A and B are shown apart, each in its own frame.
Chain A
């Protein structure tokens, strides 16, 4: 074999493959090895099965975490568990911090869901959060004291929304029009955002060591507590975002487009969808919601700007969104779990000197690794190869001779388990169908109509703002039309009435 083969530097892969193919005969001469196990993809996986695997994964992760903490601190499992719970839930303030962590993580994960569903790897969540925070804090610093409470909050929300959206739009535009690798682009945007924030903080710092709280005396631009909870407004916004995103992804035309583009861009193109526009629009929304999170941090949580805002939630949320497979309920649960470990680690850390804040990194890292790894067992089935099944059969035959009761017992157990899981499976599917049916009957009409109406209104407002205004003006003379639509979508009665009217007008053109 020559030491340096004189293959041309820019050899296209096919030529290289051809050159290598010449050596395939050499490979074929080697013994054909029997695989021990074969991996087969499952066609459909039952909910029960998936749940079981995931619970096992969490269980193993917890075991490893407890072993780790035990090894480090010497506490026994009960104490560790107690300390974790104490750290997370002991006082009202701990619970609030836990809620806050959960909710922030949740909103970012939900924001990432549409982008990921479209297979656009938006790794730039942290940067988008920071840009939203930056612009919101600029508003707070310079203008908030001159504005009313609702005015300042609205403007900050708007700017946060636009800043995050724009920050995500740039890589999306380049991906859609130029085909750049979005993972790397969004990743780099993160660090640009961090430095921009650091720069701004430094400029505002002037001669001090920190900028302190922004507007500490007037509390201008600070989100007021809602329902008695300092983070009440944030929780409310989180709930709205989760509901909105669920509806958006599953019930709207946009959601359908996102799914198609994600599954197969070619299909989307052949179906006539404007892939570029869809990508840019979806990623803009994704980044915009992250920007809102940034604004919430500045206005509702920290009341100041720092480049460490949001910590590593931008990255954690990526993993949460992925492991939850865009299912909002699962996202809520996973966010809660991660926030629990984070706050719990702080609790343990405060009682012993062997740990520090980075312990939470390890705990969360372990949990995430197990969750990521278990996906394999959900999607794939391990089928023993021929050698292994032969050996197994031989072993089983031997065992049958020696201890038939053992084999029968195992077989009976296996059958029982199978039956039990089948029953649970059936229960879950029927329950799901029933709920879907009921919910569908109750809500589908109203929901669909509402969504459609809002969509149409937005469309019209955006395209023909002036005309909308004149239509409203004219509408006041006519009697409210389309009472049926107005009944169902009662909350949106004025708009839907107007839009229905306008729809008719357009049709008459």
Chain B
């Protein structure tokens, strides 16, 4: 008996010592990638949030109920929590007072709990109820119908305008703008790689296009809008790119996103971005990068440097405080909140996280700033129809499905021409995205 235990211990010790021996070796693995000294990012790329002028709110107070799909540990809900907290501070500075009642961890599918939470919040005297996930609309709409005196905001929802329910509101950001700018950052990095001839043959496909990958959640408008904008951002710098999209069918699936990214990397994609809330994709990029495969990642919602310190370029983020300041102040003052609110760089409600200077040889921030300013002024339209084609043809007209009727029937002409530029007016007719065009250069893998 003792001899067996001894044998076991010896075997384990052997295995551990091999590992330790490897670790003690100070030789670097032969395939480590050297990015060079890096640069300091000189220019502030983001736009300072432009809050509404609140006026004097002294003496006004309101109780607000918030229904969240996750909690502080979930990066998407955390962005909303931070936005709300900042908004409350802004209102305090103007003399008003907002009391928030939080309800966490209410997934869309558990409608009974969501309804119960909504009812509880109403019973506690909340005059404004906010929910942050698309699926919460199913509960918000009937509750709004039953409580005409209260206001309901279904963030990222799309039924407010078409339902005719005047006390139901929707809001979204021009997320596609920050995606475009993040794409520009990725494009600049790609440009440097092309210049220094650092791409491998695996990174270029049969048509001479450089491969990039995108891990999407679901194949519907919000995601399509996001990845198309990202693609167009890269394309504005490096024209010969081809993007592959893989869907995970979940908003938050670390393992699924990890494997989707891994699959894309193995096909030769050199830039990986995502529309999903977990750290799976950056983990896969970091793993590949430290084993010698050159790949860079662009994240979403939060700075992905914590998961991919060597290869995260930047992330596209939302600043919800701009909207929440507006909405809470309007509620305080008794004014009507807009049925569909959507803004982007014009109000500083979208941004990108700090560009990773270690990965660049020249400071890209000045150029990125000019792009942001052009978007802000309206000079540059992200979905400029002259920049993309569908099946080889330019698109001059597209009926988008703006009014949600469950059957996806197109109903609104979404392409407008302004000052000589023809573009797809995303998030204008409705706050939630409705760009569903599959443009050339993007392939959906599943």
Cβ contact within 8 Å between A207 and B220: yes
Q: Tell me if A92 is interfacial: C-beta within 8 Å of chain B.
A: yes
Write the A78-102 contact mask toward B (1 if CB under 8 angstroms, else 0): 0000000000001111101100100
How many inter-chain contacts with C-beta < 8 Å in the A-B complex? Answer: 74
Stretch at the interface among B9-17, B97-105, B293-301, B317-325: B97-105
| Pick from A90, A209, A308: contact of B218, CB under 8 Å | A209
Q: Tell me if A212 is interfacial: C-beta within 8 Å of chain B.
A: yes
Cβ contact within 8 Å between A302 and B111: yes
Q: Residue of B at shortest CB range from A211?
A: B109
- Which residues of chain B come closer than 8 Å to A349, judged between CB atoms? 104-105
With contacts A3-B3, A202-B249, A353-B72 known, is A213 near B120, CB below 8 A?
no
Write the A60-94 contact mask toward B (1 if CB under 8 angstroms, else 0): 00000000000000000000000000000011111
Q: Tell me if A306 is interfacial: C-beta within 8 Å of chain B.
A: yes
Q: Tell me if A170 is interfacial: C-beta within 8 Å of chain B.
A: no
| Pick from A209, A350, A353: contact of B135, CB under 8 Å | A209
Cβ contact within 8 Å between B105 and A357: yes
Size bracket, chain A contacts: 20 to 34
- Which residues of chain A come closer than 8 Å to B109, judged between CB atoms? 210, 302, 304, 306, 308
Cβ contact within 8 Å between B135 and A207: no
- Which residues of chain A come closer than 8 Å to B220, judged between CB atoms? 207-209
A273 CB to closest chain B CB (Å) equals 43
- Chain A residues 228-283 with CB under 8 Å of chain B are none
Cβ contact within 8 Å between B119 and A207: no
Q: Tell me if A389 is interfacial: C-beta within 8 Å of chain B.
A: no
Cβ contact within 8 Å between A97 and B142: no
Cβ contact within 8 Å between B135 and A306: no
Report the separation of the CA atoms of residues A353 and B105 in the bound assembly, to the nearest whole angstrom: 12
- Chain B residues 398-438 with CB under 8 Å of chain A are 408
Report the separation of the CA atoms of residues A1 and B4 in the bound assembly, to the nearest whole angstrom: 12
Report the separation of the CA atoms of residues A97 and B138 in the bound assembly, to the nearest whole angstrom: 19
Cβ contact within 8 Å between B123 and A212: no
Q: Tell me if B53 is interfacial: C-beta within 8 Å of chain A.
A: no
Cβ contact within 8 Å between A303 and B119: no
A23 CB to closest chain B CB (Å) equals 12
Report the separation of the CA atoms of residues A501 and B308 in the bound assembly, to the nearest whole angstrom: 82
| Pick from A92, A94, A356: contact of B73, CB under 8 Å | A356
Q: Residue of A at shortest CB range from B4?
A: A3
- Which residues of chain A come closer than 8 Å to B408, judged between CB atoms? 207
- Chain B residues 116-147 with CB under 8 Å of chain A are 116, 119-120, 123-124, 134-135, 137-138, 142
Cβ contact within 8 Å between A93 and B104: no
B226 CB to closest chain A CB (Å) equals 14
| Pick from B3, B71, B103: contact of A356, CB under 8 Å | B71
Cβ contact within 8 Å between B104 and A350: yes
Write the A197-238 contact mask toward B (1 if CB under 8 angstroms, else 0): 000001000011110110010000000000000000000000
| Pick from B103, B111, B219: contact of A304, CB under 8 Å | B111
- Chain B residues 68-118 with CB under 8 Å of chain A are 71-73, 101-105, 107-113, 116
Q: Tell me if B251 is interfacial: C-beta within 8 Å of chain A.
A: yes
Q: Helix, strand, loop or mixed for chain A's interface?
A: loop
- Which residues of chain A come closer than 8 Å to B111, judged between CB atoms? 213, 302-304
- Which residues of chain B come closer than 8 Å to A306, judged between CB atoms? 109-110
Cβ contact within 8 Å between B116 and A93: yes
Q: Tell me if A301 is interfacial: C-beta within 8 Å of chain B.
A: yes
Report the separation of the CA atoms of residues A406 and B431 in the bound assembly, to the nearest whole angstrom: 81
Report the separation of the CA atoms of residues A114 and B102 in the bound assembly, to the nearest whole angstrom: 43
A99 CB to closest chain B CB (Å) equals 12
Cβ contact within 8 Å between A93 and B72: no
- Which residues of chain A come closer than 8 Å to B72, judged between CB atoms? 353
Q: Residue of B at shortest CB range from A357?
A: B105
A350 CB to closest chain B CB (Å) equals 6
- Which residues of chain B come closer than 8 Å to A356, judged between CB atoms? 71, 73, 104-105
- Which residues of chain B come closer than 8 Å to A213, judged between CB atoms? 111, 138
| Pick from B1, B104, B110, B135: contact of A308, CB under 8 Å | B110
Report the separation of the CA atoms of residues A439 and B4 in the bound assembly, to the nearest whole angstrom: 66
| Pick from B3, B104, B120: contact of A94, CB under 8 Å | B120
Report the separation of the CA atoms of residues A318 and B137 in the bound assembly, to the nearest whole angstrom: 35
B146 CB to closest chain A CB (Å) equals 13
- Which residues of chain B come closer than 8 Å to A90, judged between CB atoms? 120
- Which residues of chain A come closer than 8 Å to B103, judged between CB atoms? 350
Write the B228-267 contact mask toward A (1 if CB under 8 angstroms, else 0): 0000000000000000000001010000000000000000
Report the separation of the CA atoms of residues A4 and B333 in the bound assembly, to the nearest whole angstrom: 85
- Which residues of chain A come closer than 8 Å to B73, judged between CB atoms? 356
With contacts A216-B138, A304-B111 known, is A97 near B116, CB below 8 A?
yes
Report the separation of the CA atoms of residues A202 and B137 in the bound assembly, to the nearest whole angstrom: 19
A30 CB to closest chain B CB (Å) equals 15
- Which residues of chain B come closer than 8 Å to A209, judged between CB atoms? 108, 134-135, 217-218, 220, 251
B424 CB to closest chain A CB (Å) equals 19
Report the separation of the CA atoms of residues A101 and B135 in the bound assembly, to the nearest whole angstrom: 23
- Which residues of chain B come closer than 8 Å to A97, judged between CB atoms? 112-113, 116
- Which residues of chain B come closer than 8 Å to A212, judged between CB atoms? 135, 137-138
Report the separation of the CA atoms of residues A97 and B219 in the bound assembly, to the nearest whole angstrom: 35
Q: Residue of A at shortest CB range from B118?
A: A93
- Which residues of chain A come closer than 8 Å to B138, judged between CB atoms? 212-213, 216, 304
- Chain B residues 134-186 with CB under 8 Å of chain A are 134-135, 137-138, 142
- Which residues of chain B come closer than 8 Å to A304, judged between CB atoms? 109, 111, 138
Q: Residue of A at shortest CB range from B71?
A: A356
Q: Residue of B at shortest CB range from A96?
A: B116
Report the separation of the CA atoms of residues A301 and B408 in the bound assembly, to the nearest whole angstrom: 28
Report the separation of the CA atoms of residues A356 and B77 in the bound assembly, to the nearest whole angstrom: 14
- Which residues of chain A come closer than 8 Å to B3, judged between CB atoms? 3
Report the separation of the CA atoms of residues A94 and B112 in the bound assembly, to the nearest whole angstrom: 12
- Which residues of chain A come closer than 8 Å to B4, judged between CB atoms? 3
Q: Residue of A at shortest CB range from B408?
A: A207
Q: Residue of B at shortest CB range from A217?
A: B142
Report the separation of the CA atoms of residues A350 and B137 in the bound assembly, to the nearest whole angstrom: 22
- Which residues of chain B come closer than 8 Å to A91, judged between CB atoms? 119-120, 123-124
Report the separation of the CA atoms of residues A394 and B408 in the bound assembly, to the nearest whole angstrom: 88
Report the separation of the CA atoms of residues A216 and B142 in the bound assembly, to the nearest whole angstrom: 9
- Which residues of chain A come closer than 8 Å to B120, judged between CB atoms? 90-91, 93-94
With contacts A94-B120, A209-B251, A356-B105 known, is A302 near B112, CB below 8 A?
yes
Write the A292-318 contact mask toward B (1 if CB under 8 angstroms, else 0): 000000000111101010000000000
Write the A1-27 contact mask toward B (1 if CB under 8 angstroms, else 0): 101000000000000000000000000
Cβ contact within 8 Å between A210 and B135: yes
- Which residues of chain B come closer than 8 Å to A210, judged between CB atoms? 108-109, 134-135
Q: Residue of A at shortest CB range from B115?
A: A93
With contacts A3-B3, A202-B249, A357-B105 known, is A301 near B112, CB below 8 A?
yes
| Pick from B71, B123, B217: contact of A93, CB under 8 Å | B123
Cβ contact within 8 Å between A93 and B134: no
B140 CB to closest chain A CB (Å) equals 12
- Which residues of chain B come closer than 8 Å to A92, judged between CB atoms? 123
Write the B1-45 contact mask toward A (1 if CB under 8 angstroms, else 0): 101100000000000000000000000000000000000000000
- Which residues of chain B come closer than 8 Å to A100, judged between CB atoms? 112
Cβ contact within 8 Å between A93 and B251: no
A58 CB to closest chain B CB (Å) equals 27
Q: Residue of A at shortest CB range from B1?
A: A1
A contacts, CB < 8 Å to B: 1, 3, 90-94, 96-97, 100, 202, 207-210, 212-213, 216, 301-304, 306, 308, 349-350, 353, 356-357
**Interface pairs (21), CB distance under 8 Å:** A3-B4, A90-B120, A91-B120, A93-B119, A93-B120, A93-B123, A94-B120, A97-B113, A207-B220, A209-B135, A209-B220, A209-B251, A213-B111, A302-B110, A302-B111, A302-B112, A349-B104, A350-B102, A353-B71, A353-B72, A356-B105
Extra contacts, 9 of them, besides A216-B142, A302-B110 (Cβ < 8 A), are A209-B134, A209-B220, A210-B108, A210-B135, A213-B111, A302-B111, A349-B104, A350-B104, A356-B105
- Give me the 7 closest cross-chain CB pairs, A-B, nearest first: A306-B109, A210-B135, A93-B119, A212-B138, A301-B112, A213-B138, A91-B123
